[in-house]
Amino acid sequence: MSGGGLLVAGTTSDAGKSVVTAGICRWLVRQGVKVAPFKAQNMSLNSFVTREGAEIGRAQAMQAQACRVEPTALMNPVLLKPGGERSSQVVLMGRPVGEMSARGYHGGRQEQLLGTVLDCLERLRGTYDAVICEGAGSPAEINLRRTDIVNMGIARNAGLPVLVVGDIDRGGVFASFFGTVALLSPEDQKLVAGFLVNKFRGDVSLLEPGLEMLHGLTGRRTYGVLPFQHGLGIDEEDGLRVSLRGTVRESQVAAPVGEDVLRVAVCAVPLMSNFTDVDALAAEPGVVVRFVDRPEELADADLVVVPGTRGTVRALEWLRERGLADALRRRAAEGRPVLGICGGFQVLGEHIEDDVESRRGQVDGLGVLPVRVRFAREKTLTRPVGEALGETVEGYEIHHGVAEVLGGEAFLDGCRVGQAWGTHWHGSLESDAFRRAFLREVARAAGRRFVPAPDTSFAALREEQLDRLGDLIEQHADTDALWRLIESGAPTGLPFIPPGAPA
C-alpha cells in the first residue's frame, strides 16, 4: 500500500515552497512518521552528490536531512542546470544526459520523463509513510501546463492533494491565491485543498477577515499563517543568497572571539553554482561575508573566494571585463588569501581546454596556480574524504574539468601556492576543525587578530535551522488538518472557480 502524500505548490517562485516542505518534513519525523521529500523536476545551479554518486538539487538534500534520511536520486529525478539564457544541462536520475533548449525540453522531452518521475514517486510512497512533494514556480503557468510534470501534472497523475503557499511579505497574496486556483482546469482545482500564508508580519487577527473572505470566494481554507522570521532558510535553489542568510543579510554578525572580524568577499561570477560553500564561513562568529562584482570591493577583504560556476570560460571573461582578474592576480602576488572552488579553482589555473561546456577550445587562465584543466564529457560526481592543514575533510565533487596539477603544495586534490588555494571539493568548509585551521591561516596572512570560535558546529547549526522550520509548522499551522490531507487526500466537493484554464 502506498504511503500518504502532499504537493506543496506556490503562487510564485521563492514563495517559500522549499522551506515549508522542509518544515513539514521535520514536523512529521518528530511525530514518528517515516517521511521523504520529492521534487520531480528542479532547476538549480546548487546541487549535491548522494552516497551512490548521483547529482540532485541541494534543496532536496536538505529536505532529506529534515526527514533524517539519506538523500537519493529518487527524491529529485530531473535536475536542470542552466548554462545560459536558453539552454540547460539535463540531469536524469543523478547523471547528465545532455544539453537542451527550453523549447526542446518543453516541446516533448519533458512529457517523456513523466513515467520516470511517477515511478520514482511511487517507489518512495511504497517505502515511506508519507512523501512531501515540492512544486516549481507556479502551478498556474498556463503556457506550460500541457507538459507539466512537477506541479499539477504530478499531482493529478499521483492523486496528490495540493497546498498553495503564498509570500504575504511581497503583497498581493489574496489575489495570488485566488488567481492561482481560478486559472486551473476543473480537474486540477479538485486537488487544490487550500492555502498557507508565509512570512506574515504583525497581528494575525488583522488578517483573519481576509482569510474568511478568501474561504468564501474559493471554498478553500487556509491551513496556517507562518510568521516572518529573520535568518530562516535552507539551501536555496537560485538567486544571490546563502542558505544561512540570516547571518549574512538579515542579522548582526555575531561578535568575534578575537579582537578583529574577518572580511570575506565572494566574486559573484555568472552562472554561480554551489555558492552555499560559503555558508559555513558566514556561520562563524566574527566572519562577514559579502558578494562583490567590482575590483575595489576586494581591497579590504581578508579572503577572496572565487566560487563554482556552470560556465568556467564565461566566468573567466567576466572577471577580466570587470577588472577582477587583475585584482586577483595582484592579491596572489602579494600573498593575500584567495580560495578557488571548483570552477573558481579552474579559473585560477594556467590553461583551460574546453570542448564540452563552452566549446571555446584553448583558453588562458589567470595563471595564479600551476594547473591545467581539460574538460571531459563524463562528469565527476564523488564524495571524497581527505586531510588538509592536519585535519580531516569531507566534501563532494561535481565537475567536467579534469585538473592536472603541475606544482605547489597538495591541497584537497588541488594545490596551494603561497596564500592562493584551489580545490574541486565543494562543502569542505563544513568540516569544522578544518574550517577553523583554514581561518587561522587566513587571519595570520591577513594580519588580523581574528580567532575562530572553538565550538561552532555547522552540522548543529543546520539541525537548529531545520528544527526552527519544524517549530513554525507545529506552532502556526493546523497540523491535524495537514495530516488528514496527507493521509486521505483533498476534501471532496471543492467548488470550481471560474474561468478555469483556457481551452
Using the structure block, give the residue that is written with the C-alpha cell 594556467.
350
What size, in residues, is the chain? 503
Helix ranges (DSSP H) in 278-339: 279-282, 312-322, 324-333
Please name the residues in contact with 150: beta carbons below 8 A apart, sequence gap of 6 or more. 39, 40, 41, 117, 135, 136
Query: CA 313, CA 208: separation in Å to the nearest integer?
Result: 53
Q: Residues 400, 424, 426, 476: which is the catalytic one?
A: 426
Residue 303 φ then ψ, to 5°: -140, 135
Taken in order 137, 139, 141, 145, is the CA torsion positive or negative? positive
| Residue of 24, 244, 4, 30 whose CA lies nearest to 134 | 24
Longest dimension (CA), the chain: 71
Query: CA 8, CA 163: separation in Å to the nearest integer?
Result: 5
Q: Does residue 415 carry a catalytic annotation? A: no
Torsion, Cα 151 152 157 162, to 10 degrees, reads 90
Residue 329 φ then ψ, to 5°: -65, -40
Using the structure block, give the residue that is written with the C-alpha cell 581591497.
299
Q: Does residue 230 carry a catalytic annotation? A: no
| Residue of 266, 262, 392 whose CA lies nearest to 338 | 266
- SS3 of 131, please? strand
Quick check: bond before 209 cis, omega within 30?
no
Q: Residues 67, 120, 267, 342: which is the catalytic one?
A: 342
Angle at Cα 114 formed by Cα 110 and Cα 118, nearest 5°?
A: 150
The residues carrying an active-site annotation are 342, 426
